[in-house]
Amino acid sequence: MLESFFNPAKEGSSIRTEIIAGVTTFLTMSYIIFVNPEILSSTGMDRNAVFVATCLAAALGSLIMALVARWPIGMAPGMGLNAFFAFTVVGAMGFTWQQALGAVFISGVIFMILTVTGVRRWLVEGIPHSMRSAVAAGVGLFLGIIALKSSGIVVANEATLVGMGDVTKTGPLLAILGFFIIAALDALKVRGAILIGILVITVLSMALGVSQFGGIVSMPPSIAPTFLQLDIMGALHSGLAHVILVFVLVEIFDATGTLIGVAKRAGLMPEGKPNRLGRALLADSTAILAGSLLGTSSTTAYVESASGVQAGGRTGLTALVVGVLFLAALFFSPLAGAVPVYATAPALLYVACLMMRELVDVEWADITEAAPAALTALMMPFTYSIANGLAFGFISYAVLKTLTGRIREVHLATWLVAILFVIRFAMVGS
């Protein structure tokens, strides 16, 4: 049945290879089942329910990708957007997590409409390459400041705004050790390096009394505290309009770029021939809606899927294996509940390092490209908001191109986004 539906032989693969690829992809992205509950529970959401929602959203998204698009790409709640959800929308702006979930749902509806109508491709093609790279790097910096703050390595300082924490304390030392373990294992090409780092620091935390051992396996906890708890009417509040815009924009950059990048690496998008990108985009959009209903931030395609492609994955069978393994992960909730912030912070910091590599693709020789890109990346961590980074980047891009007589280089999509952010600032100012 698997052979006839996915036909791996046609893509130069086999069932055995696809299964190995699926396991590989799962190991490289499964850290999200520990990190996402840690981040979202800071909003007041039930940690155990978020754990279940994370596993189910990842499983459902991956299964949709497997059965609809038949591409070897795993799905799960995205890094960056979960931090924006928790620390900006709820933490800084003061909205409830129910309203934030409503905003995710609305962004998913908009995302699906943009996908079905083809506007999504138009937007992606109209956004400058330097800006796309800067957004990824800026989100990485945002994750980095969150990781350093939560682990106690960076603390508030009245004189300098931020300063170095006491790195001789147990918590920061565990976080630093975790980062070194993850980076070293990844450099040595060890599969599941981030997951191994989280588990090692969790065990050490238990041994040192930082966290308590509550078991490893149990029946999944209830998802009721987050299931269908989204407040859609509350999300229609005018103050959340730009939040929805940010969700949509980052989903467009992140998910579309990942889908195309991984698919090209797998040879699934040959020049001049039909491909299933449209189906993959639709599967991605559907997963966002499902995730918001379950009780988690935006679900997206994972760039870690490239590890499965590297292992030989070429069909949806790889994604099917990923989905099944996320369902199996539901039974490890006691272990997830014992993971301390000092174990997840190094994972966040390492992901931040990986995302910052995107800066190499910025056209640094052209100041009208470089300055907006730099502003985008810098404003995200320094204002603790992905939204502000996007706003400063897009507005400055349009302004600098206009002032230097290169207004024709600004695509209509870029003008549209810039104008929307100007309106947002005007409304806030009034």
Count structural domains, the chain. 1
Q: What is the pLDDT of residue 398?
A: 93
Query: β-pairing, 154-157 with 161-164?
Result: antiparallel
Torsion of CA 288, 100, 235, 63, to 10 degrees: 10
Query: Measured on CA atoms in the order 292, 297, 300, 302, is the torsion positive or negative?
Result: negative
Q: What is the pLDDT of residue 369?
A: 93
Tokens standing for residue 235: 């999300």
Average pLDDT for 163-182: 92
Average pLDDT for 161-175: 91
Average pLDDT for 318-331: 91
H/E segment holding residue 409: none
Say if residue 430's pLDDT is above 50: no
Q: What is the pLDDT of residue 274?
A: 58
Residue 79: name the closest of 230, 262, 297 by CA: 297
Among the residues of 151-235, which ranges form H helices?
Answer: 170-187, 193-207, 232-235
**pLDDT tens track for 280-314:** 878 888 888 888 899 998 888 887 787 778 777 88
**pLDDT tens track for 41-96:** 999 999 899 999 999 999 999 999 888 888 888 899 988 788 888 988 888 888 89
pLDDT band at 273 (very low <50, low <70, confident <90, very high): low
Q: What is the pLDDT of residue 320?
A: 92
CA gap 128, 139 in Å, rounded: 17
CA gap 274, 264 in Å, rounded: 13
Whole-number percent of the chain with pLDDT over 90: 22
More confident residue, 143 or 37: 37
Q: What is the pLDDT of residue 45?
A: 92
**pLDDT tens track for 365-377:** 999 999 999 999 9
CA gap 142, 134 in Å, rounded: 12
Among the residues of 30-127, which ranges form H helices?
Answer: 32-40, 47-64, 81-83, 97-117, 119-126
Average pLDDT for 332-357: 83
**What pTM did the predictor assign?**
0.78
CA gap 315, 13 in Å, rounded: 8
Whole-number percent of the chain with pLDDT over 70: 95
Q: What are the beta bridge partners of residue 154?
A: 164
Token pair 């708890």: residue: 229
Q: What is the pLDDT of residue 404?
A: 94
- Give helix 47-64 / helix 32-40 axis angle, nearest 10°: 130
**pLDDT tens track for 228-267:** 888 888 888 766 777 887 788 777 777 776 777 677 767 7
Spell 31-55 as b/e; 16+ CB within 10 A means b. bbbbbbbbbbbbbebbbbbbbbbbb
**209-213, 258-262, 390-394: range with lowest mean pLDDT:** 258-262
pLDDT band at 335 (very low <50, low <70, confident <90, very high): confident
pLDDT averaged over the chain? 84
CA gap 418, 180 in Å, rounded: 40
Residue 262: name the closest of 318, 321, 325, 326 by CA: 318
Residues 322, 135, 247, CA angle at the centre, nearest 5°?
65
Q: What is the pLDDT of residue 275?
A: 67
More confident residue, 210 or 367: 367
Say if residue 161's pLDDT is above 60: yes
Determine the structural domain holding residue 231 and report its residue range.
2-356+363-429
Tokens standing for residue 125: 């093609």
